[in-house]
């Protein structure tokens, strides 16, 4: 097989695999479901749109290849994909929101501890006329080991 054919085949297979389940494919599917009698118009319009998008991508790729080497383009593309993946995972797991909520919660706890009354300032959990009211506050050691 010639190198030109292998290049064509690899581009064709990669694009077919990448487009499966893509939002472009789903959009064409939904438009066709809503207009089944105009399927050839939809086919022509979506093919033209995809062709023009690929033409822009090839032009940008050729321009970048003149100024930047292919190895650097691969590294930049890989770094961009990693960055986007980290951002998507962070948003999925709610990282920015959860981090801000944790910081707010810690600040609220510190503020509450600063304003918390001492045990002597707390009201007794029973009325003043109870016989044991004068013994408040009482410390009870529930976990003290029994005497030998």
- Region 28-52: mean pLDDT is 92
As given in the structure block, the two tokens for residue 114 are 């600063």
- Region 1-18: mean pLDDT is 87
Q: Tell me, what's the pLDDT at 93?
A: 74
Q: Tell me, what's the pLDDT at 90?
A: 77
In angstroms, rounded to a whole number, what is the distance separating the alpha carbons of residues 51 and 68? 25
pLDDT at 62 over 80: yes
As given in the structure block, the two tokens for residue 34 are 């809503």
Q: Tell me, what's the pLDDT at 116?
A: 65
Alpha helices, H only, the chain: 3-19, 23-34, 39-67, 70-92, 95-115
Q: Which of 59-68, 75-84, 120-129 has the highest mean pLDDT?
A: 75-84
The confidence band for 123, taking pLDDT boundaries of 50, 70 and 90, is: low
Q: Tell me, what's the pLDDT at 20?
A: 78
pTM of the shown model:
0.47
Overall size of the chain counted in residues: 148
Q: Tell me: the pLDDT tens digits for 79-105? A: 999 998 888 887 777 676 676 677 777
Residue owning tokens 């499966």: 20
């Amino acid at each position: 097989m010639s190198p030109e054919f292998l290049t064509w085949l690899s581009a064709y297979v990669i694009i077919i695999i990448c487009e499966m389940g893509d939002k472009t494919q789903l959009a064409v599917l939904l438009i066709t479901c809503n207009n089944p009698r105009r399927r050839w118009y939809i086919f022509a319009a979506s093919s033209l749109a995809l062709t023009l998008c690929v033409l822009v991508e090839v032009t940008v790729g050729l321009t970048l290849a003149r100024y930047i080497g292919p190895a650097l383009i691969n590294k930049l593309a890989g770094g961009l994909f990693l960055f986007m993946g980290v951002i998507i995972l962070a948003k999925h797991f709610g990282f920015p929101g959860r981090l801000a909520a944790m910081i707010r919660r810690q600040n609220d706890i510190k503020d509450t501890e600063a304003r918390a009354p001492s045990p002597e300032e707390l009201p007794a959990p029973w009325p003043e006329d109870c016989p044991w009211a004068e013994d408040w506050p009482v410390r009870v050691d529930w976990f003290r080991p029994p005497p030998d």
